[in-house]
Chains A and B, each alone.
Chain A
Amino acid sequence: MSDIPANLAIDAPPAQTRPAKSRGYWGGVWQRLRYDHVTLFCLALILLIVLSAIFAPWIAPFDPNKSSIIHRLKPIGVAPYWLGTDEQGRDMLSRILWGGRTSLAMGIVPVAIATLIGGAFGIVAGYYGGWVNMVIMRTMDVFFAFPSVLLAVAISGSLGGGTTNQLITLAIVLIPPLCRVAETATSQVRSMDFVDAARATGAPTPVILFKHVLINVVSPVLVYASTLVSAAILLASGLSFLGLGVSPPTPDWGLMLSTLRQSIYVQPLVCALPGVAILITSIAFNLVSDGLRQAMDVKA
């Protein structure tokens, strides 16, 4: 088929002999991210935080739960407690490292669960439309009628504290926004002609969903999910602050802030430390998700 008639000549753009393999979508995203120094820096920061949380048992200088009456509320910068000690004499540096495990887990796990569940509901609602859409989205609307902090406090307050309850609470709070984003993206994709073309081939619905719909929906949903990680961390620490999270003496940044509150007249800087950890982590996740969103937004 190489003898292409002249009138079928290709109206190619000013030709460069392009290689057969094109960069693809993710290639383009990476190209743009490469020059975004802020995002890359924050990505490295997150990696650092995650690694230090994972390896906390090995790199923490002290046992985070070992209390010592004589070493209570030591200031920052004095060896061997480089970040001081809390009101029970426990080393702050170790507690902050260990606390990272809980806080990060509370940020990432609920978001992952909510993405799967909310995303599934949203995709179904967006693809099928009609009354399925109405039932799902109106139910989500009721949850949207609560401000997130209030909803979290409400569910948590009823269920009681504890790690599992906190996870459940956060997942429930995060499902409606993810569902909504997934539904919007899916119904936009659904209205595109190529979905009709796929339907016209007689392909069964699951095939169309996986091959055509999902790959177009996954990126906006994941980007949105990444913006929720920092919100989840903040919510989780807020709940712990109110005593609705893990129980003492487990190190948790929010809980630490709460227990240290009484000592702010003695060692204010030490008492502010857990919040600084939350702040830095939260900022890092926010900037990374922002950068990711910008890199993915451009239509190549």
Chain B
Amino acid sequence: MTLELASRSPLPEFDGSDRGGPEQPLLIVENFKKHFPIHSGVLNRAVAAVKAVDDVSFNVRKGETLGVVGESGCGKSTLARLLMHLLPHDEGRLVLDGDEVGERHGASLQDLRRSIQMVFQDSASSLNPRLPILESVAFGPRVRGASKTEARALAGDLLERVGLKAERFGGRYPHELSGGQKQRVNIARALALRPRLLILDEAVSALDKSVEAQVLNLLAELKEQFNLTYIFISHDLHVVRFISDRVLVMYLGQIVEIGPADDIYDNPQHPYTMALLECRLSMDPDARVDNAPLAGDPPNPINPPSGCRFHTRCPYVEDICMAKAPPLENVLASKAEGHLAACHMTHPGSGHSRASAAAPAALARAATPILTIPEA
């Protein structure tokens, strides 16, 4: 089948071109918003909206692994799909290595797709059951214009790199592979387009622990070999800490905390993060959890609480929390080691009784902005 998609070269070269330089974030997400309208009634009018992603902004630095954690329904998977443009965003800007996506002289959708790829979670439906895995991996290069043989050669090479011998596994169908093997194929497929950024959406969540460890090690190897940047989405806090450089915590469609992994885990600033971390079970049989750190169900994303969305479950809630939503200040301008939390307690002068003029030590480092993003 001839695929006439414009491409600059038949075999996508490893795009080592670093247009923006090492200091330029690979990806800048600015004010991303995605609301899903709900239709109801006889006339099927939009009566409400699920605010899946609401005003989300953050940077992704080159070569880092950014972990994204949150409970189900916090919007992390929607965010992943927005970044890939599998879903159109309602509002917001995306800047890829200094070029704004969608602008005339900026990056095109094609460039975006060339640079960002995704590894999905559910390995049962993530591969076409009717295609041998070699074909599934070769599909991407074929779309870009590679010939059948070239694409297959590339696919075979990638399968080897993820640990599957091409002659033995290439002709197999997904149902003939184990979960771990399927995820390797998914990774190979994502890499076949030589992206710079790989989004891993719960990529290891469905695997057995031992297999998960193997795949994580593989991911670490590949990151070095291919000079990749990762966004690692997961609800498993242990795994995220293990693999991430920085971590971003989401709640009900918004970012509540962002910072270096160790900082977040050792010194969480947002009450939600604190509660999440306390939910982790310890290997120490003496350290038992008697009370559930987090009470109740997450509220409805259709009608989020006023002010700070977490205030209904927060042990430190005060009036200011219900009235005003605490912003995640200067998230796009902060230094690499910046640790920010969207909580009134961490903003001196916000009106919360615990917010002191002397900001907590961990936040002091984020005080001075280093980079300013040019206005569009």
Contacts and interface: CB of A to CB of B under 8 A. Distances in A.
A and B touch in the complex (CB under 8 A): yes
A134 B236 CA distance: 40
A216 B164 contact: no
B353 interface: no
B163 interface: yes
B120 A22 contact: no
A216 B118 contact: no
B168 A20 contact: yes
Given A11-B214, A197-B118, A207 B143 contact: yes
Interface in B169-226: 170-173, 175-176, 178, 180-181, 186, 189-190, 193, 210-211, 214, 217-218, 221
A193 B129 CA distance: 11
Nearest to B120: A193
Contact of A215 (B130, B160, B190): B130
B16 to A, nearest CB: 20
Q: Classify chain A's interface size.
A: 35 or more
B86 A8 contact: no
A211 B1 contact: yes
Contacts of A9: 163, 214
A10 B181 contact: yes
Given A192-B125, A194-B127, A216-B129, A8 B217 contact: yes
Nearest to B216: A7
A123 to B, nearest CB: 15
B161 A1 contact: yes
A4 interface: yes
A202 B118 CA distance: 13
Given A1-B161, A216-B130, A202 B117 contact: no
A160 B320 CA distance: 78
B233 to A, nearest CB: 14
A194 B5 contact: no
A203 B192 CA distance: 14
Contacts, number: 115
Contact of B178 (A11, A198, A199, A210): A11
B27 to A, nearest CB: 15
B128 interface: yes
B91 interface: no
B228 to A, nearest CB: 16
B109 interface: yes
A8 B161 CA distance: 9
B265 interface: no
23 contacts: A1-B160, A8-B163, A8-B217, A8-B218, A9-B163, A9-B214, A24-B173, A193-B120, A193-B125, A194-B136, A196-B81, A197-B189, A200-B113, A201-B113, A201-B139, A202-B113, A203-B3, A203-B143, A207-B143, A211-B139, A215-B131, A216-B128, A299-B175
Interface of A: 1-2, 4-5, 7-13, 18, 20-22, 24-25, 191-194, 196-204, 207, 210-212, 215-216, 299-300
Interface of B: 1, 3, 5, 81, 84, 86, 109-110, 113-114, 117-118, 120-122, 125-132, 136, 139-140, 143-144, 157, 160-165, 167-168, 170-173, 175-176, 178, 180-181, 186, 189-190, 193, 210-211, 214, 217-218, 221
5 tightest A-B CB contacts, nearest first: A192-B125, A1-B160, A193-B126, A8-B163, A193-B120
